[in-house]
Amino acid sequence: MIIIPAVDILGSKCVRLTMGDYDAKKEYEISPAEAAFNWQKSGAKRLHLVDLDGAKSGNPDNFDVIKDIIKSVKIPVEVGGGIRNDDIIENYFGAGASYIVLGSILFKNINSIKNSLLRYKGRIIAGIDLYDEKIAISGWSEYVETSFSEAVKNLKEVYGIRTFIFTDIKKDGMLAGVNLELIKKLSRLNVNIIASGGVSELSDIKKIKELNITSLEGVIVGKALYDGRIDLEAANAIL
């Protein structure tokens, strides 16, 4: 398991949202590129970049910012936010992204990206956002009727997706601790897991580690790192 620092980009600035609310954003003086470089310097083994403008518009609004970040670091980068067709996926991989994170498109029009799913098998990650264990899409404004277990099974067996980022919406940006019971439940899905939401202090990292879940590849951490509540080097030492 590794710690994956998040770099969320809105208006070319580094921000963190609370439960995905664009009106409840916190801006940081550090630029997205500086944040990425700092996390690499502190021992990050991977970065999670999100184009929040793109997530709203459906266009790669911060493509140039993200491309420059990818070029400036030497660690793998996963990119998400508004990636809804083969061309955008191709462009991000062409820019050097190691992984692409797809969300709403998987439930609204998955056939439109079928070529990418086949071509980049193993490099496409499904981003599943959960509110009370229901899948939320379109900026968390809609819900999918299919259960998350059935959805994951379908994405794995039919489309070959093996790695899933699960975000606990109620915990996201709240600094209120992780939902360990949900992580345990997700571990039974027989896929690779990256957990997101609620990590607020080093004790959360310890608790997740103690679950001893072999399929848990990483934990995305955002606000706790930016606010100095978690030291990345100390967290890496625990792991």
Across 9-35, average pLDDT = 85
Q: Of 68, 71, 84, whose CA–CA distance to 127 is shortest?
A: 84
- What length is written for the chain? 239
Contact 232, 3 (CB under 8 A): yes
Whether 138 shows a pLDDT value over 80: the answer reads no
% pLDDT > 90, the chain? 80
- What mean pLDDT is reported for the chain? 92
Across 60-86, average pLDDT = 96
pLDDT band at 233 (very low <50, low <70, confident <90, very high): very high
Strands 163-168 and 142-143 come out as unpaired
Contact 49, 36 (CB under 8 A): yes
Single-letter amino acid code for the residue at 67 = K
Q: What is the pLDDT of residues 91-119, one digit of tens each?
A: 999 999 999 999 999 999 999 999 999 99
- Provide the annotated active-site residues: 8, 129
Contact 211, 183 (CB under 8 A): yes
Rounded to 10 degrees, the C-alpha dihedral 113/131/97/83 comes to: 40
> Residue 74, exposed/middle/buried by CB under 10 A (0-12, 13-18, 19+)?
exposed
Q: What is the pLDDT of residues 146-173, one digit of tens each?
A: 999 999 999 999 999 999 999 988 776 5
Rounded to 10 degrees, the C-alpha dihedral 72/77/83/86 comes to: 90
Whether 86 shows a pLDDT value over 70: the answer reads yes
Say how far apart CA 226 and CA 223 lie, in whole Å: 5
Name all domains of the chain by residue range, CATH numbers in brackets: 2-238 (3.20.20.70)
